[in-house]
Amino acid sequence: MALGKHPPRHPQRAGESSHRVGRFVFRNRRLLAAMLFCLATAVAVEALIPPEQTRVGVVAAAADLPVGTVLTAAHLTIVELPAEAVMSASFADPSEVVGEQLATPLPHGFVLTPTAFVGSGLLTGAPAGTVAVPLRPSDPSTVQLLSPGHYVEVVLSTGNGFDVPGDTTVLARGLPVLWTSAAPSSGPSGVWPGNSESEGLVVVAAAPADAAALAGATSTGNVHLVLTGAPPG
C-alpha cells in the first residue's frame, strides 16, 4: 500500500450508516419537528421583544387626591416610567412640590406637572400676556356652581335701584375658570391666596386689557359670574 493513501471506504458500511440515520429520523420525526417549531418560535419571540428601555423616576400622586389638596410628602410617591414617556415638566424629587395646592383632582399614580397647581402653572398654554385674576362674586353660592375649565361672563351691577340708579355692564366674556375656593381641601384652609379670606374666590384667566376693570370690580359694585358652559367661538 502506497504511503499517504487511505483504503477506500467499504460501500456496505456507508449504506448501513445512512440507513441507521434514516430510521432514527423516521422514528423521532415528531420530536424533531416539535424541537424545530420551538426553536423557530423562540427566534420569533426574541425578535419581537423591544430592547430594554431606560426608565426614569418621577413624582406622582400616592392616592386619589381631591382638588384643593395641599401636598405633603405622604401624598406623593415615585413611579418609574420609560424615559421617552416622561414629560419635561415633571418632577424628580417630592420636595419640589410639597406645599403646593392642587387646582385639579388627581387619580392615584398620576404624574404631577406645574399645570396641576394653583399658581402660574395654571396659565400654561394660555396666549402670551394672559393673567390670572381673582374675583369675589357678590353671591358666594355662585362659587359652588363653578369648576376649573368652565367659562364665565363677568357682569358688574352698580346702584341700588332707589336713590342711585342701577346699571349693568358686561366686563368680559368667555373667561376660563382656573381655580375656585369651593373645592374641598385636605390641607389647612386658606393657604392660597394667603388666609381664610380665600373662601368665595374664583380665579379666571383674562387678557391684560380686561384685567384692570376686573381687578377693581368688587370695589365698584356687585360682581356676578354667568356660566356660559363653552369657550368663545
> What's the pLDDT tens digit per position in 38-60?
776 766 666 665 666 688 889 99
Instruction: Indicate the pLDDT class of residue 124, thresholds 50, 70 and 90.
Output: confident
Query: Out of 8-17, 64-73, 122-131, 133-142, which region has the weakest mean confidence (pLDDT)?
Result: 8-17
Q: Which of 203, 180, 186, 149 is nearest to 66 (CA)?
A: 186
> What's the pLDDT tens digit per position in 198-223?
578 888 889 888 888 888 888 888 89
Residues 135/154, Cβ–Cβ less than 8 Å: yes
**Residue 192 in this model has a pLDDT that exceeds 80:** no
Amino acid 195: pLDDT: 41
Amino acid 151: pLDDT: 92
Rounded Cα distance, 133 and 208, in Å: 10
The one-letter amino acid at 205:
A
Other Cβ atoms within 10 Å of 69 Cβ, number: 21
Rounded Cα distance, 220 and 197, in Å: 19
Residue position matching grid coordinates 367661538:
233
Q: What's the sign of the alpha-carbon dihedral 18, 24, 25, 27?
A: positive
Instruction: Indicate the pLDDT class of residue 196, thresholds 50, 70 and 90.
Output: very low
**What would the mean pLDDT of 92-110 be, rounded to a whole number?**
87
Rounded Cα distance, 169 and 166, in Å: 10
30: cell is 415528531
User: What domains appear along the chain, each with residue ranges and CATH number?
Assistant: 55-117 (3.90.1210.10), 125-227 (no CATH)
Between the ranges 50-54, 75-79, 105-109, 116-120, where is the mean pLDDT highest?
Answer: 75-79
**Residue 164 in this model has a pLDDT that exceeds 50:** yes
Q: Which of 138, 122, 107, 111 is nearest to 179 (CA)?
A: 122
